[in-house]
A = this chain, B = another copy of it.
Amino acid sequence: MDHSKRAVVLVSGGLDSATCLAIAKSKGYELHAMSFDYGQRHRAELQAAERVSDAFGVVDHKVVKLDMGTIGGSALTDGDIAVPEAPSEGIPVTYVPARNTVFLALALGWAEVLDADRIFIGVNAVDYSGYPDCRPEFISAFEKVANLATKKGVEQHNLHIETPLIDLTKAEIIKQGITLGVDYGLTVSCYQADDDGRACGRCDSCRLRREGFEAAGVADPTRYLSV
């Protein structure tokens, strides 16, 4: 069987990963969506991930349970650390230690089982420059690990980590997604959305998303708790 167009796509349920999924589909990949139930505060994301995966007709959507809360160290998994509601200097407290390394490692395991040679991740180095594991040099280093760590990588040297959003602004991401038919009303970006997926409108992620829609000149479909 030809698996050369088979891809694992990390789908968080947010705006970026939905766009990333749309891009992978537009390139003709057979889509295998992967999400993580990792103790995040914003669990409405997982329902959003399911809606987005369904909308793009993925072959399967795997949700891996992973207790990152036991490690702690982030406002997203530790109830004792507050989600900030103003921009901060340096690496923000919403950074989950080694999260993208963990997510890519699990995607790599699944890619090997599927015989897929592409992993798509919607990281972005522009708006999220405070997260070290969203930078091109990190992705490039992980790609080397991927090709050394696995049977497939060792035999074929063909595993690639695709980051189609890495150099785009939020507005550019939104414009591209609209062109590819993404319904952003299905997505949830808020770090502290309620169970119904309504956004706080105040956290860093809400702010970046709202500014993105404004800059793109696109109506913001986000459902906010208060406006």
Interface of A with B (CB < 8 Å)?
A: 62, 64-68, 70-73, 91, 95-102, 104-106, 108-110, 112-113, 132-133, 135, 137-138, 141-142, 144-146, 148-151, 153-154
* Residues of chain B within 8 A of A99, CB atoms compared: 109
Tell me the complex Cα distance, A145–B104, Å: 12
Copies in the complex: 2
Given pairs A102-B106, A133-B149, A141-B145, 12 additional interface contacts (CB within 8 A)? A62-B70, A71-B106, A96-B109, A97-B109, A97-B150, A102-B105, A104-B105, A132-B150, A133-B148, A141-B141, A141-B144, A141-B149
Shortest Cβ distance from residue A87 to the other chain B in the assembled complex, whole angstroms: 17
Taking CB atoms, residues of chain B closer than 8 Å to A145 are 101, 138, 141-142, 145
